[in-house]
Structure 1
Amino acid sequence: MENSRDTASATRHGWIPVFVLCLNFGVVFFDRNALNFLMPFVSSDLKLSNFDIGLLSAALSLTWALSGFFISAASDRANSRKPMLIAAILCFSVCSFLSGLAVSFATLLGARLLMGAAEGPILPLSQSLVASSVPVKRRGLAMGLVQNFGSNLLGSFVAPIVLVGISTWMGWRIAFFLSGVPGLICAALVWRFVHDCPADKGGQEREKLSLSAAFAYRNVLVCSVLSTLVVGYMAVTYTFLPLYLTRISGYSTGEMSVLISALGLAAATSGIVVPMLSDRIGRKPVIVLMPLLGCLLPIATLVGPADPWILGAFLFAGWFIIGTLSLIMATVPSETVSLSQVATALAIIMGAGEIFGGVGMPIFSGWIADTMGLGGVMWTLIALSGASAVSALYLIETHSTHTRRRQHPPLGPRAVEDGI
C-alpha cells in the first residue's frame, strides 16, 4: 500500500517538469513569433522590404538549426542538459530585448540571428530530459505536451492578441521588451523543478553521434525526411493559405482570420490527442494516418465549400498532421537511439525540418505561386502530405507494447536501456 502511494506521488511529481518545459517552449514560440505579429509596425518604422522580411525569418531558422545540433551534441558528450537549457533560456530572453533596441534592418537581423542560436537547442534539450524521466507508456503524451501544446497556445493564440495590443498602446519596442520577461521566469522554474538526466548506467561511453552514424539508424533518416515534409507543409500553409482565402476564395480578412484561428485550435488539440493515440496503438500507424488527413486541408480549400463553417471543419481536421511533429522530432528518435545521444539525434531531425522545410519549402512554393498561381500551392500541400504518409511506412515501430525491439537490431542500444 505504501509503495503504491510512493509510486503515485512520484508520478505526480514527474509531470511537474513536463508542465514547466511545456510552458517554457510556449514562451519560446511566443518570442519567436513576436516579430511576425509585430511586422506591420516594425516594417513601417525600419522601412523593410518584403525581401528583408523573408530574410529575417530564414536567418532565425538557419541559426536555430545549427545551434540546435552543435549545442545538443555538446550536451550529450557532457551528459549535462539542465545548465545548458537554463543558459539558452536566459540568452533568448536577452535577445528579445535586443530586438526592441533595433534601429535598422542590420541590427534587427543580428538580434534574430542571436535569438535563433539561443532558441535552437531548447527543444532537443527539453525532450531529452523528458525521455529520461517519463515512462515509455506515457512518453508520447509528455513529448506532445512539451512540443505542441504550449507553443500553439501561447505562440499562436495568446501572442498575436497580447503583442499587437501592447504595440498599439505603447509601441512595438515595448512589446519586445515585455516579451523577454516570461523567459526569465521560466529559467527560474526550470532551475527549481526540472532535474538533469541521470548519469549513464554502467559507465556507458558517451560517443559523439555524427551525421553518418545518426543516419545509419533507419528511423532517424526517415524522421528527418518526415520533419522536412511536415514542417514544409506547416510553413507553406501559414504563408500562402491566408492569401488564397482572400484573393481566390473571396473571404474577407475578418473571415480569413477566423478560419486561420482554427489551425491554432487544431494544433493545440492534436498536440495532445495524436501523441495519446500513439501511446495506445503505436507510433507508426498514427504517423501514417495523420498525413492522409492533411490532404483534406488543401482539397477543401480548392473545392471551396460555400459555408465557411464547413471549410473550417476541414481545415481543423487536416491540421491534425501537425500533431505528428512531436512523434517525428522527439518520441520516435528518443526511443531509437541511446539515451546518451538523444539530444543530438533530435537536433539533427529538427535541423532538417528547419532548413529544408522551414526555409526551402516556402521559397519553392513562392516560385510555384508565381508560375502556376496560388492553386499550385494547394497541390504542393497535397504532394507534401501524401509523401509524408508514404515515407512513414518505412518507420520501424518503437512503442514497446506494440513491437519487440529485439527483432529490429538497427534500433540500437536504447532497447536495452529501457529493459526491453
Structure 2
Amino acid sequence: MTDIARPTRVRWMIVAAVFVTYVLMFIDRVNISIAAKYMIDEFGISSVEIGMIFSTFVFGYALFQIPGGWFGDRFGPRRVLGFAILWWSLFTAATAIAGDIFLASWIGVVGSFALVRFLIGVGEAVAPPNGARTIANWMAPGERGLAFGIIFAGNTIGAAIAPPLIVWIMVTFGWREAFYISGAVGIVVAALWYWVSSDRPAEHRWINRAEVALIEGDEREGMRADVAEVGAWWQLFRNVRLWCLTAAYFAVGYVLYLYFAWFYLYLVNGRGMSVEAAGVYTMAPFVVSAICAPLGGRLTDRMTRRYGPGNGKAALGIGGLVATAVFVVAGAAVEDVRLAVLLLALGAGGIYASMAAYWAAAIDMSESHAGTAAGLMNVGCNIGGVISPVLTPWIAGIWGWATALYVAGAVAIVGALFWLPLIAWRRQGEKMPAISAG
C-alpha cells in the first residue's frame, strides 16, 4: 500500500467489477429463453419440456444460495466468486453441445439440457451472496446502499440488453455460437475479477492506507454497536428478524418474476399490443429500474445515517413495496395502454429503489456471516420467483390479467408488513437494541 493523504477509490472499482458480474449473470440466465425456438425445431422438444429445462435452473439457483454464501464467508469472495463465474460460463458454453454429447444418449436430450441448466444455476447461485460478502468487506456502512444500488442496476441492464444482443448473435452466427460467445466472455470476466479483487481492502495492492481507514474507520465501529453478531453461522437460522426479511424478499421475488416471465405476454394478450410494440414497451420496467436502483441505494445510506440501520432500511423496504403495490394496482386498472405501461414500470422501479435496503439489512444481521445471511434471504426471493410464473397465468386464465396484477399488489403489501419487526425505535442518546438471534 502507498501512504498518501487522499484516499484511493479502489472500493468503487470492486463495486464496478461486481456490477459487470451481475450484467453477465442475467445475460447467461435469459439466453436460453431466446434459443428455445431453435432448440424446439432442431430437437423436437415440446413447450412443456422446455419449461422443465427452465425450471431446473431455478432449482439449482435456489438450492445453492446458502452454501454459496457460506463458502464466501469461509474462503473469501475472490476465489469463490471467481470460480463460480468460471463454472457457470463453462456450462453456458456447454449448452451449445448438450443435445449432441454422449450424455444425451444416457439421459435423453431434455435430461442433458436440464442437467446443464441446473449446473449453471448452481454457479450463478454463488454470485448474489458473494456480492453481499464483497460489499460487507469493502464498503463502509454509510456507502453500502449506493454500492448495492449500483450492482443491482446490473441486473436490469443485463435483462434489458440480453434479448436484442442474443437475438442478433443467433440470427447472425447461429444459436450455438451465442452460448459459445457468452461462455468465452464469462471466462474473461472470471479472470478479470480474480485479477482486480481481493478478499479484504488491506490485502489489495492498489489501495492506500487512507482508503483502508475510510472503510474500516469510526463509522463501521459505530454501526457495529447497532447491529448484531452471532457465533456460528447456523445460529442465523434462529434469527427471527432474518426470517422476516426473507419473507419480505419473497414478496419482492413474486412481483419481480411477474415482470421477468409475463410482462411481455401481458401486453400482447392482456392489453392487445402488437408483437413489435410489446417488444419495445417490455424494456420500460427495466429502464426505470436501472435508474431507481442506484437512487434508492443512495437514499438507503442517507436514511440509515439519519434514523439508524433498523428504521432507515425498514422505511425504504416498506415504502418500496407499498409504492409497488399502488403502481401495479393502478396500472392494472387504467384503460390507457401507455399509461398502464408507465405505472407498471414505476412499480418495478419501486422494487429496485428498495433493493439495497434488503441486502444491507442482511449484512446487519451478522457481518461475519454476511454471505450466508444474504443467501438465506435470497432463497425467499427465488421461492417467490418459482410460484409467481405459475400462479400468475392460472389466475389470469380464470379471472383475468387485472386480477393477477391485483394479487401481486396484495402480495407486496403483505411483504411490507414483514419489515415491521426490523424497526428498532430509539430515543435521543439511547443505543439501538441489537438484532439478536431468536
Q: Partner of 2:102 in structure 1?
A: none
Task: Give the superposition deviation at 1:236.
Answer: 2.1
Q: Distance in 1 between matches of 2:332 and 2:131?
A: 39
Cα deviation, 1:317-342, whole Å, max 9, x if unaligned, reads 211232156335421110221x2211
Cα deviation, 1:88-123, whole Å, max 9, x if unaligned, reads 111111011111112122211111011011111111
| SS of aligned partner of 2:418 | helix
1:23-172 aligned at under 5 Å gives the runs 23-76=20-73, 78-103=74-99, 104-146=109-151, 148-153=152-157, 155-172=158-175
**Are 2:94 and 2:116, in contact at CA under 8 Å, matched by a contact in 1?**
yes
Q: Distance in 2 between matches of 1:258 and 1:304?
A: 20
**Are 1:223 and 1:328, in contact at CA under 8 Å, matched by a contact in 2?**
no
Q: Partner of 2:309 in structure 1?
A: none
Q: Distance in 1 between matches of 2:296 and 2:86?
A: 31
Residue 407 in structure 1 maps to residue 412 in structure 2? no
1:287-302 aligned at under 5 Å gives the runs 287-302=317-332
C-alpha RMSD of the superposition: 2.7
Unaligned runs of 5+ in 2: 100-108, 203-215, 217-228, 304-311
AA of the residue aligned to 2:329: I
Alpha-carbon spacing, 1:385–1:404, altered in 2? closer, same or farther (3 Å): farther
Q: Partner of 1:416 in structure 2?
A: none
Q: Distance in 2 between matches of 1:140 and 1:336?
A: 15
**Are 1:369 and 1:375, in contact at CA under 8 Å, matched by a contact in 2?**
yes
Q: Distance in 1 between matches of 2:143 and 2:317?
A: 17
AA of the residue aligned to 1:363: V
Residue 269 in structure 1 maps to residue 272 in structure 2? no
Q: Distance in 2 between matches of 1:362 and 1:326?
A: 21
Alpha-carbon spacing, 1:186–1:169, altered in 2? closer, same or farther (3 Å): same
**Are 1:81 and 1:125, in contact at CA under 8 Å, matched by a contact in 2?**
yes
Q: Partner of 1:394 in structure 2?
A: 421
| SS of aligned partner of 1:407 | coil
Q: Partner of 1:320 in structure 2?
A: 349
Residue 349 in structure 1 maps to residue 377 in structure 2? yes
Q: Distance in 2 between matches of 1:190 and 1:171?
A: 29
Task: Give the superposition deviation at 1:46.
Answer: 2.7
Q: Distance in 1 between matches of 2:190 and 2:430?
A: 37
Residue 336 in structure 1 maps to residue 333 in structure 2? no
Q: Distance in 2 between matches of 1:20 and 1:163?
A: 22
Cα deviation, 1:168-219, whole Å, max 9, x if unaligned, reads 11211111110112211211221121111479x9xxx995422xx3243343
| SS of aligned partner of 1:6 | coil
Q: Distance in 2 between matches of 1:405 and 1:121?
A: 39
Unaligned runs of 5+ in 1: 413-420
Alpha-carbon spacing, 1:404–1:393, altered in 2? closer, same or farther (3 Å): farther
Task: Give the superposition deviation at 1:253.
Answer: 1.6
State the TM-score, normalized to the length of structure 2: 0.83
Task: Give the superposition deviation at 1:237.
Answer: 3.1
Task: Give the superposition deviation at 1:364.
Answer: 2.4
